[in-house]
Structure 1
Amino acid sequence: MASTPVLLSLSLSLTLVFLLPSTLSQPAAPAPGPSGPINITDILVKGGQFTAFLRLLNQTRVLDQLPNQLNNSNQGMTLFAPTDNAFQNLPAGTLNGLSEEKKVKLVLYHVLPKYYSLEDLVDVSNPVPTQAGGDHGSLGLNFTGRSNQVNVSTGAVETQINNALRKDFPFAVYVVDKVLIPLEFNQAPAPEGSSSSSPPAGKGGAKAPSSPAADGDSPSKNGGGRMGINGMGLIGGFVVFCMAFF
């Protein structure tokens, strides 16, 4: 009877010997894959204070382009999302005064075509190109700060990056309390011809010096006219005197 436990133990050991290699040869379970394409709308909606920015993204149709670009990029993307308060604090009529082209440029100015963590933005080489094109190439943003306190500046607006709605590669979304207005939006172009044409006389410009002919006869002509009249008077008086005498 004592041999029965020994036989069972030996049988179990042999079973483990045969099963162990097959267990070790099986590949490890794959890590959970991505949950699907990144949905920018969902990220902003869950943030709870980006209604105005979402509206502008939809109006300009930029929201139709960014997801496809993001999901097909190896560089990732960084988005700065102004809050609803940021839009409310704009001067009245700012957005309504922009052309459709400038509205698109304004939205793309909030997008970097590369993923940046906050630590990256501290050490980045300024200016950092955005998706917005300008008169001299891509419009850039400047970043300053240290550790987790980073400021972003357009040259016309500066604000602090408060927190991240999403910070994992390939897509980072950072909250800003001001709309990032490009500096060139505040630079009015010079009026056409202002450097070459001068204002006409009598309409705000200096009066052009007048020629003698325009102001009347010259002094010599005036003098000659007075002398002619005096001479005629003397001759007429002499004729009257002669007729009276005869």
Structure 2
Amino acid sequence: MDLLQILVLSVVQGLTEFLPISSSAHLILVPVLTAWEDQGLAFDIATHVGTLAAVIIYFRRDLYQVGTDWAHSLKTRELTPAARLGWGILLATIPVGLAGLTFKGFIETSMRSPVILACSLIGFALLLSYADWRRRGDRDEYGLTWKDVLFIGCAQALALIPGTSRSGITITAALLLGLSREGAARFSFLLSIPVTALAGGLQAVELLRSVDAVEWTPMILGALFAGVSAFVCIHYFLAFIRRIGMQPFVIYRIALGILLLMVFGPSL
């Protein structure tokens, strides 16, 4: 991998991991628009490490409070808002974990069609548009009930469908429940921590089982570029949606879905 390939793939992963525009759709377009070969599993793990580090660093103060109160609740059973949020993040991760273990093989073999990607991009864009348009809530992530958490967690499981976008579907679900745009996005970002860690862990197990040699320089650079781009993305995304909302991402998703249909449709 040359430096340009490392930079482009890392930045694409770092941005699309948190923007509601689907990382899978963009990663399928990169090899179409370039002559690059597949980057390999090790590089994917590196970019996951970078994005995971970015969200942990960005929300470090919140995570410290959540982690402290959550650990304290194990002893005292006292549920402060921060402790409830910690339990909520864990609870909302269960549906996607179970769905991933159950349907991983089917999704990898039968749902990687560009048409499915395009339809998911457009369909879930319309749902996001509706949720944002009807938004009347001002709740934040600390006010979520257990039913809210389960609803968002089940919605997150839909992100296994290529083109859905994990951040997009969780933000959509949170908006439908009456969270503010910023509260919905913040919970989505915090919810990405266990999911990204689990996905990276599974990839690491697969890598350890392989016999391929690992080139450390592309991995280090990939993690760095992905982490920096993800950190910047989180910061400006929260400010952007506070003032403008989700509709620009809706338009982008629909346009990307149409582009995928135009590129891949004639070959089907």
Q: Which has the higher strand share?
A: 1
Whose radius of gyration is greater, 1 or 2? 1
Q: Which has the higher helix share?
A: 2
Higher relative contact order (CA 8 A, sep 6+): 2
On whether the aligned pair clears a TM of 0.5, the verdict is: no
